[in-house]
Amino acid sequence: MEWLNILIQGCLLGGIYALFAIGLSLSFGIMRLVNIAHGDLIILSAYAALVVTQQTGLDPISSLVIVVPVMFGLGYAVQRGLLNFTLTGGLLPPLLVTFGISIIIQNGLLQVFGAYTRRLQEGAIETASLQLPGGISVGVYPLIVFVVALVSVGSLQLLFYRTGIGRAFRAVSDDADTAELMGIDNRKLYALALGIAMIFTAIAGVLFAIRTIFDPSSGPIRLILAFEAVIIGGLGNIWGTLAGGVLLGVSQAIGAALSPTWQILAGHIAFLIVLIVRPSGLFPRTRD
Amino acid sequence: MQTERVERATKASRIAAVAIVPFLAVLASLPWWGDSGDMRLVGEMAYYLALAQLWNLLAGYAGLASVGQQAYVGLGGYAFFYMTGVLNINVYPAFILAGLFAGLMSIPVSFAVFRLRGAYFAIGTWVVSEVFALSASLITVMGGGAGTSLTPAILREISANRSSRETIIYFATLASSIIVCAVVYFLLRSRHGLALTAIRDSEPASASLGVNTFRTKLLIYVATAACTGLIGGLIFLQKLRISPEAGFSLNDWTVVVIFMVVIGGIGTIEGPFVGLIVYFVLREFLADYGSIYLIFMGALAIGVMLLAPAGIWGFVLQRYGLQLFPIQRRLVVVS
């Protein structure tokens, strides 16, 4: 039963990694943008929730009512005002501009909030657990996070394949120039895409910060985890991203079962193995 | 009769070649008129210049935008500490061996990361660096996650006297930086340099004209890794202490370096010099305000990337055609 327990815990851990990765997968899938600041935007969302909870007395999950629209607006504005200008000049501009944004967010948070570690408090739900047959106990909170990840991926699926805007997203992803000829305003659509990516980033940030301590320098490792989930799952495939997150979580759980110091390393090694064996990921869809 | 010849030197480059002699003489005489704080600052500038030149070679010329060069700084540092502290190898050969070790390690790494393109290559190299950092924290003989220090015995190997030791380390850093700059300069003037410049301007076009882009990129990746490892050994000799966090620091060894190159002018040899000066001026002026200088550097890099992607030196080059390090060939008609 030991291995089953590891598997279940790993899957649940994978839920939060998938949530980290959805925003990244989305911005890559639609506009081929690799957002280096993604991890820092996750942490920025956590700090935004911290401020909202302190100012209004709301609990962290309810604070999403404010944090999500704020992050959506920020994503829209950053894409419209900054990143749209980098999409034509080759590889370096988007990479370096998001790199600059990353450093500005990290050091800005450091200036405002200091280097202290923080946590969001959600109350009793954090420690509640379910007893499964066979002596396996499953945390209620990780389960909720996993369900949120599932619902997020499902709703994006609906958005992409059942709505007009989703059709526009797919068109731009397939061939941006032709889509523009057909009357789509790519720049507006890109801004909307990063805005939507930020919705999931905000949710990921707040759910993560309820369970784990964070500080201004917590962003980069989240970016790496998100990136690994996206690559493992295959570029541009949102269900693949979920699978990638789960595989990453399971690898880490196996590593942690061997020795606690091996947890993160095991995830990186699983990623590198996938990279060497199947460079385009397990379920690729988008052509690079 | 009209003949042509190929010329490289420009008027500006001839002046620069002459001016560099007194400039180097001033730097070389620093131990006799500056204090140890001055030496540390100039030493730091020297190794940052080397790192910037190396990253520029990678990203600016070979199109390999790595954000994982801290892997080789850390590997070089760790290899140096391991060889001197555990294997009791003399300090001087240990430097060279540390560089070779970093170069050697970059070969298997390239198998994994060369499968990724563009920005994915960038984050892939970063993951590799994280793997090295986590692995380093598992080595108990190197102090695990806490790191380790150089023993006094190793320092006495350089010199028993503290101030003469500082002078020797200063000269070693200065010399390494000059050697790295010279390697980059002569590499760019060579056959490979021509291939690299072609790759910088258009990879498909250079490939179609017979440049083996994969082999050229691999060569550059391994060569910069070895040089970065060598500099890594020196950096941590100066710091006397290494830990996984310090050795494999993304911010210290890659972010700052990238900003320098981008602001100064990517894809030129002069750019990293300009970026280096901008960085140190900002840092010294804003030293009292914590990490504000990094916010400035980030904003400046974004501004440069959006408004003048060629950087400060690219602007100068475009406007005045000024070239201090002649790597370009020009056809001159002599009648």
If you measure CA to CA, which chain B residue comes closest to A97? B302
Cβ distance of A34 and B262 shorter than 8 Å: no
| Helical (H) or strand (E) element with A138 | strand A136-139
CA distance A217 to chain B (A): 10
| E strand or H helix at B62 | none
Structure tokens at B89: 């190898």
CATH number, domain with residue B329: 1.10.3470
Contacts with B, A 6-35, CB within 8 Å: 34
Which pLDDT belongs to residue B1? 62
Spatial CA neighbour of B84 closest among B9, B157, B10: B157
Q: What is the pLDDT, as a whole number, of residue B221? A: 94
C-beta atoms of B299 and A100 within 8 A: yes
By CA distance, what is A225's nearest residue in B? B127
Tally of residues, chain A = 288
Report pLDDT for A63: 93
Closest among B110, B65, B49 to B274, alpha carbons compared: B49
**Is A125 a domain residue?**
no
Cβ contact, residue pair B291, A288, below 8 Å: no
Establish if A253 belongs to a structural domain: yes
Nearest-CA neighbor of A4 among A143, A134, A150?
A134
CB < 8 Å to A102, chain B: 298
Percent of chain B with pLDDT over 90: 34
Return the percentage of chain A with pLDDT > 70, whole number: 98
Residues of B in Cβ contact (< 8 Å) with A288? 117-118, 120
Question: CB–CB of A34 and B122 under 8 A?
Answer: yes
- Alpha carbons A260 and A254: distance in angstroms, whole number: 10
Cβ-count burial of A47 within 10 angstroms (0-12 exposed, 13-18 middle, 19+ buried)? buried
- Helix ranges, A126-185 (H): 140-162, 164-174, 176-181
What is the domain extent for residue B94? 3-334
Chain B contact set for A279 (CB, 8 A): 115-116
CA distances from B282 to A221, B275, B276 (A): 28, 11, 10
Residue A147's pLDDT is 95
Residue A140 lies in a domain: yes
The terminus-to-terminus CA distance of chain A in angstroms comes to 42
3-state secondary structure of B322: coil
| C-beta of residue A113 within 8 angstroms of C-beta of residue A48 | no
Q: Please count the CA atoms within 13 angstroms of the CA of B264 that sit on its side-chain side.
A: 27
Q: What is the mean pLDDT of residues A160-166?
A: 90
Smallest CA-to-CA distance from A281 within A249, A247, A252 is with A247
Residues 6+ apart with CB under 8 A from B42: B27, B30, B34, B170, B174
What is the arithmetic mean of pLDDT over B172-193? Answer: 88
Chain B contact present for A189, CB below 8 A: no
Can you give the CATH number for the domain in which A68 is found? Answer: 1.10.3470
Give residue B129's identity as a one-letter amino acid code. S
Residue of chain A whose alpha carbon sits nearest to that of B131: A265
Could you tell me the CA-to-CA distances from B204 to B197, B200, B209 in Å, in that order?
13, 10, 9
Would you state the pLDDT for residue B305? 87
Q: Which residue of A has its CA nearest to B310?
A: A93
Query: Does some domain include residue A124?
Result: no
ipTM of the complex: 0.85
Q: Do B301 and A85 touch (CB under 8 A)?
A: no
Q: Is the dihedral of CA A108, A117, A250, A271 positive or negative?
A: positive
Nearest alpha-carbon partner for A232 in A2, A4, A24: A24
For A97-123, what is the mean pLDDT?
91
Q: Is A228 on the interface with B (CB under 8 A)?
A: yes
Query: Does residue A73 belong to any structural domain of this protein?
Result: yes
d(CA A87, CA B48): 30
Q: Is residue A286 part of a domain?
A: no
Rounded CA separation B42/B293 (Å): 19
A224 touches chain B (CB under 8 A): yes
Per-window interface: B 257-276 vs A, CB < 8 A: 258-259, 262, 266
How far off is chain A from B203, nearest CA to CA, in Å? 12
> Chain B contact for A215, CB < 8 A?
no
Please give the single-letter amino acid code of residue A127: T
Q: Residue B330 pairs with which residues in a beta bridge?
A: B7
* pLDDT 10s digits, A16-55: 999 999 999 998 888 888 889 999 999 999 999 999 999 9
The answer to whether the CB of A235 falls within 8 A of the CB of A30 is no
Contact call for B131 and A272, based on CB within 8 A: yes
The verdict on a CB contact (< 8 Å) between A268 and B131 is: yes
Q: How is residue A180 written in tokens? A: 């523009």
User: Does residue B255 sit at the A interface (CB-CB below 8 Å)?
Assistant: yes
Q: What is the pLDDT of residues A90-102, one digit of tens each?
A: 778 888 899 899 9
Q: Are B300 and A99 in contact (CB under 8 A)?
A: no
Measured in angstroms, the CA of B112 and the nearest CA of chain A are apart by 6
Pairwise CB contact (< 8 Å): A224 & B123: yes
- Provide the pLDDT for residue A283: 79
Q: Are A23 and A149 in contact (CB under 8 A)?
A: no
pLDDT at A288: 46
Tell me which residue range forms the domain holding A17.
Answer: 7-112+136-277
Helical residues (DSSP H) of B240-334, grouped into ranges: 244-247, 250, 256-264, 270-285, 292-307, 311-320
pLDDT at A287 over 70: no
> Which chain B residue is nearest to residue A108, measuring alpha carbons?
B295
End-to-end CA distance of chain B: 6
d(CA A82, CA A98) in angstroms, rounded, equals 9
Question: What is the total count of domains within chain A?
Answer: 1
Angle B138-B144-B150 from CA coordinates, rounded to 5° = 130
With 50 as the cut, is the pLDDT of residue B256 above it? yes
Q: Any CB–CB contact under 8 A between B298 and chain A?
A: yes
A184-188: average pLDDT: 87
Q: Which amino acid is at B289?
A: Y
Among B120, B137, B251, pick the best mutation site for testing chain A contact (most A Cβ within 10 A): B120
- Structural domains of chain B, count: 1
Q: What is the arithmetic mean of pLDDT over A58-66?
A: 92
Which residue from A minimizes the CA distance to B307?
A85
Shortest Cα distance, chain A CAs vs residue B75, angstroms? 17
Nearest-CA distance A98 → chain B (Å): 8
Domain annotation covers residue A119 = no
Q: Which of B56, B123, B199, B249 to mutate to test binding with chain A, by most A CBs within 10 Å of its CB? A: B123
H or E element in which residue B16 lies: helix B11-28
B79 vs B324, higher pLDDT:
B79
When comparing pLDDT for A181 and A105, which is higher? Answer: A105
Please calculate the CA angle A285-A85-B306 and round it to the nearest 5 degrees. Answer: 125
B134:A264 CB<8 A: yes
**Can you tell me the mean pLDDT for A109-114?**
93
In a domain, A118, yes or no: no
Contacts of B118 in chain A (CB under 8 A): 34, 91, 95, 288
Confidence of residue B29 (pLDDT cuts 50, 70, 90): confident
- Of residues A97, A108, A271, nearest to B302 (C-beta): A97
